[in-house]
Amino acid sequence: MQFGIFSVSDITRNPVTGYTPSEAERIDAIIRIAQKTDEVGLDVFAIGEHHNPPFFSSSPTTLLANIAAMTNRIVLSTAVTLMTTNDPVKIAEDYAMLQHVSKGRMDLMIGRGNTVPVYPWFGKDIRQGLPLALENYNLLHRLWREDVVDWEGSFRTPLQGFTSTPRPLDDVPPFVWHGSIRTPEIAEQAAFYGNGFFANNILAPNFHFRPLVEFYRERFEHYGHGTKEQAIVGLGGHAFIAERSQDAIATYRPYFEGSPIYGRSYSLESYMADTPMSVGSPQQIIDKTLTFQEGFGDYHRQLWNIDAAGLPVEMALEQVELLGAQVVPVLRKEMEARRAPDVGDAPTHASLVRAKYGDSEPRQPRPNPNRGDNVTGTSPYQDSGPDLVPNFPQSL
């Protein structure tokens, strides 16, 4: 079971002080939160992708590469990588590069996002959002698994003899989670490939996403990847913690009520009772999270959002400390004790390498020697037995 933090990268006015941080301040804060996530022994840090204010994370791979250089053990992921408005070729390249520079400490969650104007900004038609997402991932899946790809689809130019570079680390593609809150076709695609399925588990009533998760589990089993209980499920959540529940509620209330999402429509107490939001003492966060396992079944990844609604970075860092010191150690023990014996752990690069190669050395893929270069139009390699030897022009 993996536990961690995710952020949507919002820049929100602090309703207590009236101060709105700059982009630079929020980017620095996120890096500090990711470092703290690593320091306290959590497993995952994930950041979203947005291309509009009030969000700053338009380039998650750049940010995560920086965090990879400043951390030691956490898996770096995305709270969503936009499968609709990004070119799958560029996703293949960018995330394979992140996989290399992080030494395999990464995976990604793909989805359609929820910002309508993004589609025309990137030359896409939102009315084609679902088929676009499905086709783009089908291509991405092949780009990471085939050294040379010939492909033709409906939404981008064809590929002929194309090799995405760099090739995945150890010739093992990054693990992919498919994120969705309403679309069975996305759950179906995740199940077809044996990938993970992530329900954000916020902004909805308790167990609202259970039917979609159950559908994914059934289809995962249908496609022969394991039993439905073994299907690879992740859940989001939203937490605010203090040593005493009264202090948690009192401290968080002005942020909740000042939020453009929550406070204008709900009371904090009713939202805590009716949704997955967890506000309270460490034991109350533990108890609420254990209800997720009861309602959704055994799952593999739990991420919490702890930095939204204008919380200052010092308060967000305290949340990470409390999760790492008092909440997650108990949850690890309790959830493991309740876990069915045949339910495995969340996939990591190391586990995927072991599954593919066992005790053998991983294959080291080579770039496609037939692609040529952009100077001479010819290949810089010639085939000379088992090795490819550079064959650069004499003038170079």
What SS3 string covers the chain? Answer: CEEEEEECCECCCCCCCCCCCCHHHHHHHHHHHHHHHHHCCCCEEEECCCCCCCECCCCHHHHHHHHHHHCCCCEEEECCEECCCCCHHHHHHHHHHHHHHCCCCECEEEECCCCCCHHHHCCCCHHHHHHHHHHHHHHHHHHCCCCCEEECCCCCCCEEEECCCCCCHHHCCCCEEEECCCCHHHHHHHHHHCCEEEECCCCCCCCCCHHHHHHHHHHHHHCCCCCHHHCCEEECCEEEECCCHHHHHHHHHHHHHCCCCCCCCCCHHHHHHHCCCEEECHHHHHHHHHHHHHHHCCCCEEEEECCCCCCCHHHHHHHHHHHHHHHHHHHHHHHHHHCCCCCCCCCCHHHHHHHHHCCCCCCCCCCCCCCCCCCCCCCCEEEECCEEEECCCCCC
- Indicate whether 331 and 392 sit together in one domain: no
Give yes or no: residues 387 and 278 share one domain. no
> Residue 369's pLDDT is what?
57
* 130 shares its domain with 273: yes
CATH value at residue 356: 3.20.20.30
pLDDT of residue 314: 98
Q: Are residues 379 and 272 in the same domain?
A: no
* pTM, to two decimals: 0.91
Task: Determine the pLDDT at residue 393.
Answer: 43
| Most distant CA atoms of the chain, gap in Å | 76
**Is residue 391 pLDDT above 50, yes or no?**
no
Residue range(s) defining the domain that contains residue 213: 2-364
Q: Indicate the pLDDT class of residue 380, thresholds 50, 70 and 90.
A: very low
Residue 245: CA count within 13 A, CB half-sphere: 10
Per-residue confidence (pLDDT) for residue 113, from 0 to 100: 79
Q: How high is the pLDDT of residue 394?
A: 42
Domain match, 257 and 387 both:
no
Q: Domain check: are 15 and 109 in the same one?
A: yes
Average pLDDT over residues 44-64: 95
**C-beta neighbour count of 268 within 10 angstroms:** 19
275, 376: one domain: no
Residue 374 has pLDDT above 80, yes or no: no
Look over the chain and give the mean of its residue pLDDT values, rounded to a whole number. 92
Together in a domain, 357 and 372: no
Task: Give the model's confidence band at 383: pLDDT under 50 very low, under 70 low, under 90 confident, else very high.
Answer: very low
Same-domain check for residues 374 and 343: no
**Is residue 357 located within the same domain as residue 387?**
no
Share of the chain above pLDDT 70, in %: 92
pLDDT reading at 382 higher than 50: no
pLDDT tier, 370 (very low <50, low <70, confident <90, very high otherwise): low
Confidence of residue 261 (pLDDT cuts 50, 70, 90): confident
Quick: pLDDT tens for 273-326: 999 999 999 999 999 999 999 999 999 999 999 999 999 999 999 999 999 999
Average pLDDT over residues 34-49: 98
Q: What strands lie across the sheet with 44-47, from one edge to the other?
A: 75-78, 44-47, 2-7, 301-304, 233-235, 196-199, 176-179, 108-111, 81-82
Residue 386 has pLDDT above 60, yes or no: no
116 and 175 inside one domain: yes
- Does the pLDDT value for residue 61 go beyond 70? yes
In terms of domains, do 50 and 147 share one?
Answer: yes
Number of domains observed in the structure of the chain? 2
pLDDT in tens, 204-259: 999 999 999 999 999 999 999 999 999 999 999 999 999 999 999 999 999 999 98
| 324-350: pLDDT as tens digits | 999 999 999 999 999 999 999 999 999
